[in-house]
Amino acid sequence: MIAQQPHTRLPGCHSCGGPSVRYGKQRNGLRRFRCSACGKTRTEAHRRLFGAMTVDEQKGLLALQLLVEGNSIRSTERICGIDRNTIMRLLVLAGERCERLMTARITNVPVAHLELDEVWSYVGCHQRFVNYDDEQSHLRGDQYTFIALEERTKMVMAWHLGKRNLENTEQFIAKVRHATSADRLFDVSTDAFAPYERAIDGGLFDRANHSQIVKLFSHHVEHGRERYSPARFVSVAKDAVTGMPDLDRASTSHVERKNGSLRQWCKRLTRLTYAYSKKWEHLHAALALHFAYYNFCRVHRSLRVTPGMECGVTDHIWTLRELLGSA
């Protein structure tokens, strides 16, 4: 005798409460139901990856994948066939989710050595052309991306976008405090930017030793060299600012290398292009997407795993869909 399958109760109609019957499937595999009483149809409960946006999910994921690989908005528009305004809305949505994800996931993490640095960019125009009578003048002109990189795991523990001043430095250090564990004393290496000393002394006084690295470069321009060519390195000086840092280990070379990767993979920060950000919100979203993708999705060449796996925050390589659906 064949055992009968247990009866599965189908969800009732949302309009009249009447009984529902199966009514096929959509192209994406979701089941549809039809009410036997009023005849209305509906799709089974599900969560749309991009919320209320009606863009095709595969095209939307492709557009975001192109952005994190260094494509500009307009080149992404030509490849995907999606309007650039839709792409920018996708970028803002993804950036908000990635920022929430990093804040929730990267917290109370044990670290050994953090390297801190800032990357210059601008929004709308260069600083000398900013109209200071505008209420939004602080969101235009020079903008700096503060980055805290863990030296061993290459994990970006925290980042912050804003002007290069004491206020934004203190906000950045507050994010570093949220991300790091207080159970283990660690070293922090920075450049000679003065606000770091006050911000670290006030925000990480109980968990970090602070060392300062000053690199000297020659300003002599060699014959035939372009103005954007790097200056010749002369010497480096290391000093202990607070605590007892290991000066032999003190360095900012890894975070400076990360700055180069950021300019390579985020088109908005690539020099000498028209792809600079016209709005602060779009630059902020692009950076949030980049850092989350770097930590959880991109396999680091020297580690052979993602920084998030090396740091112990996750145990597998994430897909872009998983990254956007986790927040």
**CATH code: domain of residue 188:** 3.30.420.10
Parallel, antiparallel or unpaired: strands 208-218 and 232-242: antiparallel
What percentage of the chain carries pLDDT values higher than 90?
Answer: 73
Q: For residues 224-240, give the mean pLDDT.
A: 75
Strands (E), the chain: 20-25, 31-35, 41-43, 113-123, 141-150, 156-162, 186-190, 208-218, 232-242
Amino acid at 247: L
The amino acid occupying position 237 is: A
Please report whether residue 227 resides in a domain: no
Q: Is 176 contained in some domain?
A: yes
Position 233 scores a pLDDT of 79
Same domain, yes or no: 157 and 242:
yes
Q: Which two tokens stand for residue 100?
A: 């929430």
Tens of pLDDT, residue by residue over 188-205, are: 999 999 999 999 999 999
Whether 148 and 303 have beta carbons less than 8 Å apart is answered as no
Q: Which two tokens stand for residue 164?
A: 């290069």
Same domain membership, residue 122 and residue 17: no
If asked whether residues 72 and 184 sit together in one domain, one would say yes
Which amino acid type is present at position 113?
H
81 and 193 in a single domain? The answer is yes
Query: Do 95 and 40 share a structural domain?
Result: no
Domain extent at residue 70: 57-128+138-218+232-325
- Checking if the pLDDT of 321 tops 80, the result is yes
CA torsion sign for 317, 322, 326, 327 is positive
Q: Are 91 and 282 in contact (CB under 8 A)?
A: yes
- Give yes or no: residues 114 and 162 share one domain: yes
Residue 214 DSSP label: E
Asked if residue 109 and residue 17 are part of one domain, the reply reads: no
Looking at the 3D structure of the chain, how many domains does it have?
A: 2
Q: What confidence tens digit (pLDDT) does each residue in 265-292 have?
A: 999 999 888 999 999 999 999 999 999 9
Q: Is residue 133 part of a domain?
A: no
Q: Which 3 state secondary structure label does DSSP give 122?
A: strand
pLDDT for res 310: 97
pLDDT at residue number 222: 54
- Whether 73 and 40 map to the same domain: the answer is no
Q: Structure pTM?
A: 0.85
Which residues, at least 6 apart from 249, have a Cβ–Cβ distance to it below 8 Å?
A: 113, 151, 187
- What pLDDT does residue 141 have? 96
Burial class of residue 39, CB neighbours in 10 A (0-12, 13-18, 19+): exposed
* 8 Å CB contact between 91 and 163: no
Terminus-to-terminus CA distance in the chain, angstroms? 49
Q: Is residue 290 assigned to a domain?
A: yes
213 and 99, same structural domain?
Answer: yes
Tell me how far apart the alpha carbons of residues 251 and 114 are, in angstroms, rounded to a whole number: 9
Tally the residues of the chain.
Answer: 327
Task: Mark whether 74 and 25 lie in a shared domain.
Answer: no
Query: Residue 38: which of 64, 54, 14 has the closest Cα?
Result: 14
Q: Please check whether residues 164 and 310 belong to one and the same domain.
A: yes
Is 226 inside any structural domain?
Answer: no
pLDDT for res 7: 43
| Pair 153, 187 in one domain | yes
pLDDT of residue 1: 37
Angle subtended at Cα 181 by Cα 102 and Cα 98, rounded to the nearest 5 degrees: 0
